[in-house]
Chain A
Amino acid sequence: MPHLTRRTIGDLTLCALVIAGSSILFIGAATLPAPRFEPMGSAAVPRILGGLLIILSLVVAVQSLRAPQDEAEPPAAIPFRGTLVLVTLIAYVAALDVLRVPFLIATPVFVVVSGLIMSHLSFRNAFMFSALGLGVTFLVDLVLTKFLYITIG
């Protein structure tokens, strides 16, 4: 088996995921009724797109395998801090949605944590993001509740 670069492995993973997604389109389309009032029916476009995605995945896979393996550039790495921010974001939304933590409490905490992840830990930054979090929270809450009549959390 030839030595594969990170980029080729990334491309092949993409193709595998897209083909898996296309199979979901075919499975979903199989449950739809046959056309009655029109020639195409509801299932035609999912099938067309599913087929197209499989063909394109195969083309991308072949192109990637045929590309010179030494010269291929590596795929862009997902940043470590970005991953931490994503985890914090998921925790924040889960706190609002699942745990029903009030917006006025969850949001300043989220701003402080995400801000510190993106900068660095220090008392000065913690103070700055606390003030920012409180300010943003009250401003957004004011706009949502007083002007748009929306309550979060």
Chain B
Amino acid sequence: MLDAFSLLFQWQNLAFLVLGTGLGIVVGAIPGLTATMLIALTLPLTFHMDPVSAVTLLIGEYVGGISGGLITAILLRMPGTPASIVTTFDGYPMSQSGRPERALALGIMASVVGGVISWMFLAGMSPSLARFALQFGPWEYFTLVLMALVMLAVLAQGSLAKGLMGAALGMAFALPGIDSSIGQARLTFGSSTLLSGFGLLPVLIGAFAISQVLRDANGANTALKIDPPKKRLPVYWSDIRTHGPNMLRSSLIGTWIGLLPGIGGNIAALVSYSTTKQLSKTPEKFGTGHEPGVVSGETANNASIGGALIPLITMGIPGSVTEAILIGALTIHNLQPGPLLFQNAPEIAYGIIAAYLVANIIMLLMMWGAVKWIARVVLIPRSVLLSVILVFCVTGSYAVNSSFADVWVMIAFGVIGLGLEAAKVPLGPFVIGFVLSPIAEEQLRASLMMSDGNVAEILTRPWALFFLVLCILTLAWPAIAGRLANRARPEP
């Protein structure tokens, strides 16, 4: 770990971490632009970078992107990122009642504390969890991937069938190309362009950046008005006593929820907010500009990042779309996320852990010192940002293979993404299905080869059986919950 920190503090890696965190904060502060979009757009640039620098840049963007959302959530009641929705409940009323500086100070402090506590879990649990995951064979991996996909689909907003359809569609789009098991073209229909399949980067940029620009183009003319904070941000020693237990509890909730695939920072913040409200002696004050409301949401949403990084680096399982893109970043550099990462590329595995902690500290310094200037970013007309983003999308997709075929694929997936969102099919399971499909197929085929085609062998593998049972329970849960709710409802 110490080696990772010393590698991280080399000037170029530190510069990329500062750059990434700064970019993340700015993009996170702009409502409508998300960390996911920023990371997808930056990914082509990392192709030409040293893997450690690439990872530090992306981790910085992730941390900054989630944290920056609190600025507009507090000052405008417009969360810069979905993870900051809960911050609007009490942050905006505080701002309206003449306490924007206090709300920002608490939000920034809470974000850092959440990040640092979840880092302790990330640093403490990951190496031992990775060692444990080394015992997993193909059956365990296949069922683990299946469980992650099912959880993502079930927990996505809207219909269960549409969530599963999104995941299956994403998996289907990953099929064309050379089948690595037999070295033969599959579903290419004679097209030489399709031999290498649909590239991860064009798919990600299309599904997230292009579809969002096309969706936002209608309202791009509206300019936001903001009143940036004028006084210094006040924090007191007594805040440790007042908000310490809340921060600790919210960090634990955020880290735990981040561990589970598909839930994300917004749900972590909401669960933490509800818990804090239920435990409070003055629950009626929540929603009126109550400080614990800001603290609970901001602590939990940042803590969820550390939690989500644990399954990513130890098992190669993404908890959200952003982690799926991080997996893409590692695979671009021929690194396989999972337990072997700690053995094959310890500088990357520990580098991610170290970068996460340092990014939180950089975020604190940047937001503390520059929040009044960052807040002014929202004054830039959206049409300016979106037209520049489109140029980055085209050049970024082209830069991967110097091929316009990738740019056309990006546009096609932009339209597909827009269509899926219009039809209320969630994009998260779609993209994660696309990323995890090759892993799932490879592991399933390896499992069946090892067991001579005997599916029943899964019953002899306790962990595989456990993941399968969890998968079935997750699928059945909406029906069970509906039944229980009906039974609990009093008869008329």
Contacts and interface: CB of A to CB of B under 8 A. Distances in A.
Interface in A122-153: 128-129, 132-133, 136-137, 140, 144, 147-148, 150-152
B279 interface: no
A74 B26 CA distance: 34
A68 interface: no
Contacts of B391: 107, 110-111, 136-137, 140
B179 to A, nearest CB: 5
A78 B221 CA distance: 17
A89 B164 contact: no
Contacts of B414: 86
A61 B289 CA distance: 45
B353 interface: no
A56 B218 contact: no
A107 B391 CA distance: 7
Given A60-B165, A75-B423, A117 B172 contact: no
A101 interface: no
B156 interface: no
Contact of A140 (B175, B395, B408): B395
B382 A118 contact: yes
Contacts of B124: none
Contacts of B444: 40, 45
Contacts, number: 176
B152 interface: no
A149 B418 CA distance: 33
Interface in B95-129: none
Nearest to A77: B422
The main secondary structure of chain B at its interface with chain A is helix
Contacts of A33: 182, 184
B187 A63 contact: no
A105 interface: no
A77 B422 CA distance: 7
A115 B387 contact: yes
A53 B221 contact: no
Interface residues of B, number: 62
A115 B383 contact: yes
Contact of A78 (B48, B422, B441, B449): B422
B15 interface: no
A61 to B, nearest CB: 10
B423 A81 contact: no
A132 B217 contact: no
A107 B394 CA distance: 10
Interface string B411-446: 100110010011111000000000000000100110
28 contacts: A10-B423, A11-B423, A18-B169, A25-B172, A28-B186, A32-B184, A39-B453, A53-B169, A60-B162, A75-B423, A77-B422, A78-B418, A79-B218, A81-B218, A82-B217, A82-B418, A85-B213, A86-B414, A89-B394, A96-B394, A97-B407, A107-B391, A110-B387, A115-B387, A118-B221, A128-B384, A129-B384, A129-B387
Interface of A: 10-11, 13-14, 18, 21-22, 24-25, 28-29, 32-33, 37-40, 42, 45-46, 49-50, 52-53, 56-57, 59-60, 63, 75-86, 89-90, 92-93, 96-97, 107, 110-111, 114-115, 117-120, 128-129, 132-133, 136-137, 140, 144, 147-148, 150-152
Which 9 pairs across A and B sit closest by C-beta, in order of nearness? A39-B453, A79-B218, A118-B383, A118-B220, A97-B404, A28-B187, A82-B214, A119-B383, A82-B217
Interface of B: 45, 48, 159, 161-162, 164-165, 168-169, 171-172, 175, 179, 181-182, 184, 186-187, 189, 210, 213-218, 220-221, 381-384, 386-388, 390-392, 394-395, 398-399, 402, 404, 407-408, 411, 414-415, 418, 421-425, 441, 444-445, 448-449, 452-453
